[in-house]
Amino acid sequence: MGKHKGLSFYKRKKKVSSNLVKEIFSWIFGILTSIFLAYVIVFCVGMTTSVIGVSMEPGLYNGQTIFVNRFVYRLLTPKTGDVVVFLPNGNQNSHYYIKRVAAGPGDKVQIINGALYVNGESAETGEDYDKMADSGIAVNEITLQNGEYFVLGDNRNNSEDSRSANIGVVNEKDIIGKAWFHLSGGGDGIGFIK
């Protein structure tokens, strides 16, 4: 009598190959390593903070989260145009301030008729920023010493910055890092800070 070729409910036991196990552990190890490295990079190189107030509008908005590169200024120094994050006068109890570097060490800064002058020359095109109603301490020429920076908010008439006596020039040691990119808010999603 021949073998019956109908339905068979016999299941062969499948063996898990050692190659499959190695592949699974390889993937798990890769994912865990990636998570660990991302955490280390963010912890050692960067941090996040929130914009407080309207002083950096229209580029950065109140409540917007930004990523700060804390490593870059260990290799380089801030340059004019950089958006920096700092603690005013190193005050650990203050919130982080976010402002744009207008002048650096060795520069002479003064605000004349609402416009910023650096080393005796106008530093603004007039179309980028509003005329400043208050010159603050920059009504008289300020010579920046080594490691000192003059910072301003982009929204010049709604900014507490180096013009204010309680902020003044910012020492390099008080700069936490460079504002690198924004993570949320302002209606334009994620993007690098200009």
pLDDT of residue 130: 84
Determine how many CB atoms are found less than 10 A away from the CB of residue 108: 14
Q: What is the mean pLDDT of residues 120-147?
A: 88
Who has greater pLDDT, 71 or 84? 84
pLDDT of residue 124: 76
Contact in structure between 43 and 70 (CB atoms under 8 Å): no
Q: Are 144 and 118 in contact (CB under 8 A)?
A: no
SS3 call for 101 = strand
pLDDT score, position 181: 81
Q: Which pLDDT does position 42 carry in this prediction?
A: 67
Rounded mean pLDDT, 104-116 = 95
Beta-carbon count within 10 A of 123 CB: 16
Instruction: State both tokens at 169.
Output: 């020039």
What pLDDT, on a 0 to 100 scale, did the predictor assign at position 84?
Answer: 96
- What local confidence, expressed as pLDDT, does residue 180 receive? 86
Catalytic residues: 55, 99
Q: Which residues pair with 65 in a beta bridge?
A: 50
> Residue 69 — φ and ψ, nearest 5°?
-85, 105
Give residue 154's pLDDT. 92
d(CA 18, CA 161) in angstroms, rounded, equals 64
Band the pLDDT of 82: cuts 50, 70, 90: very high
Residue 77 CA to residue 145 CA, distance in Å, equals 14
Q: Name the pLDDT band for 76 (thresholds 50, 70, 90).
A: very high
Q: What is the mean pLDDT of residues 22-32?
A: 91
Across 65-78, average pLDDT? 90
pLDDT of res. 10:
61
Identity of the residue numbered 158: N
Mean pLDDT of 155-172: 94
79 contacts 184 by C-beta, under 8 angstroms:
no
DSSP state of 58: T
In this predicted structure, the answer to whether residue 179 has a pLDDT above a threshold of 60 is: yes
The rounded distance, in Å, linking the Cα atoms of 173 and 13 is 67
Alpha helices in the chain (DSSP H): 18-45, 72-75
Distance CA 163, CA 170 (A): 11
Q: Three-class SS of residue 138?
A: helix
- According to the model, what pLDDT value does residue 123 have? 86
The model's pTM is: 0.76
Give the percent of the chain with pLDDT over 90: 53
